[in-house]
Amino acid sequence: MVDYIAFDSTQALEYVKNQTNFFAPDAELTCYEFGDGNLNLVFRIHDQQQHSVILKQALPYARCVGESWPLTLDRARIEASVLIRHGEVCAQTTVKVLHRNDTLAITVLEDLGHMHILRGQLCQGHTYPNLAIDVADYLAKTSFYHSDFYLSPAQKKALVKEFTNPELCAITEDLFFDDPYHRSERNNYPNELQPHVTALQNNSNLKLAVAELKAKFLSSPQSLLHGDVHTGSIFVDQTNTKLIDPEFGFFGPIGFDLGSFIGNLLLNYCAQHKRAVELPKRRDLHAYLLNSIQTCVAQFEKTWLQLAKTQTRDLALQAPGYAERFINQVLRDAYGFCGTELIRRTIGLAHVADIDGIENLRARVEVQQQTLLLGEQLILQAPQCDTKEDLSQLLLSLLL
């Protein structure tokens, strides 16, 4: 076992050639690095017959900032382990791990280069008919099978330990729940937004509701989350959907993943006011996005309750009606976390291309005003909603 070194393309190629058997021994391999994410190196290694794999390697720092922001290599272990566990219960929508090496912080993955990253596609106005159902299926199955309903308490406690992920969780804790609601050097928004940011930071009811959400993020290990379900972590084509990049995985509140996903669809929804210039196209996209959210929530709930009905192993949690009550709370949480995603992507450190790609400042600020307001109201009002219908009604009333 060698110690960690950060690979260049040649080393990545040699590693795959010598340490795996994906390619024929005499295959002529090519390798290039194309990572555009914030944190890691990503290599594609392919032969002349259109066979290819992805080699992902964590760096001991955050790539987008540099060596001044050290970041644990342990995230590669977490990511590979989450993918393997999620793949066991939802293979169809989880990128496949072909090989792992935790010392080198390497994961070799199936190449999804024939598919597209969802965010870019949505920005360009493309739609995907199976997206909502597939994501719902992934979120329901991965969360049910790692919850107290299904795992024995001893299994679950062991997994909670295994997936303790303090450094990556700290990023979420800071960026989602602290920075946007206080003055912070990491915040990032145009001056034009300052009055709205000031109002938001002075809204004590909002801060109270955000405290509730942060407390849940900190101390509610309901299931093994992906931890970063934004539209940049999802590959799509017209038939398939694949989740990637769960390096933020940990045992947390189930609503967090669903809320992050909905939040990203809503960020795109708001951006389309300025992106989709033609009204019919805009209406179509808005209808698609809203419909996707409603379908995803409904399908998530339905699948979860079906699993709970037939596969709950915990005796007490089998009490009739309990799963329904549990999932209603998960949905309320989801809309709340969705609100924090809308806000932190607007005024926090990490933005989304959906909005930042709008070149006209005034148009962009208008969109940002909407995402802030929408986020604020979802956080404040979701806790009062009893059912998914109420939550859907709330969302519609805020959008239409």
Residues of this chain that bind a second copy (CB under 8 A): 148, 153-154, 156-158, 160-161, 164, 166-167, 169-170, 173, 177-178, 181-182, 204, 207-208, 210-212, 214-215, 218-222, 314-322, 325-326
Q: Which C-beta is closer to a second copy: that of 172 or that of 294?
A: 172
Comparing CA positions, the residue from 249, 7, 292, 345 lying closest to residue 135 is 292
**What is the closest distance, in whole angstroms, from the C-beta atom of residue 261 to a second copy in the complex?**
22
Q: Whose structure tokens read 């509610």?
A: 220
Q: Is 14 assigned a ligand-binding role in the annotation?
A: no
27-31 contacts at long range (C-beta below 8 A, 24 or more positions apart): 27/51
Q: Is 111 assigned a ligand-binding role in the annotation?
A: yes
Q: Which C-beta is closer to a second copy: that of 67 or that of 167?
A: 167
**What is the closest distance, in whole angstroms, from the C-beta atom of residue 47 to a second copy in the complex?**
43
Q: Is 383 assigned a ligand-binding role in the annotation?
A: no
Q: Which C-beta is closer to a second copy: that of 3 or that of 386?
A: 386
Q: Is 56 assigned a ligand-binding role in the annotation?
A: yes
Q: Is 17 assigned a ligand-binding role in the annotation?
A: no
**What is the closest distance, in whole angstroms, from the C-beta atom of residue 84 to a second copy in the complex?**
21
Q: Is 110 assigned a ligand-binding role in the annotation?
A: yes
C-alpha span between 121 and 102 (Å, rounded): 33
Q: Which residues contact 222 (CB under 8 A, 6 or more apart)?
A: 143, 147, 148, 251, 252, 253, 254, 330
Q: Is 38 assigned a ligand-binding role in the annotation?
A: no
Q: Which C-beta is closer to a second copy: that of 65 or that of 215?
A: 215
**What is the closest distance, in whole angstroms, from the C-beta atom of residue 209 to a second copy in the complex?**
9
**What is the closest distance, in whole angstroms, from the C-beta atom of residue 155 to a second copy in the complex?**
9
CA distances to 92, 154, 346, 377 from 339, rounded to whole Å, are: 29, 34, 11, 8
Q: Which C-beta is closer to a second copy: that of 6 or that of 211?
A: 211
**What is the closest distance, in whole angstroms, from the C-beta atom of residue 40 to a second copy in the complex?**
22
Q: Which C-beta is closer to a second copy: that of 156 or that of 226?
A: 156
Q: Is 246 assigned a ligand-binding role in the annotation?
A: yes
Comparing CA positions, the residue from 145, 160, 139 lying closest to residue 250 is 160
Annotated binding site for ATP: 40, 56, 110-112, 245-247
Annotated binding site for substrate: 228, 344
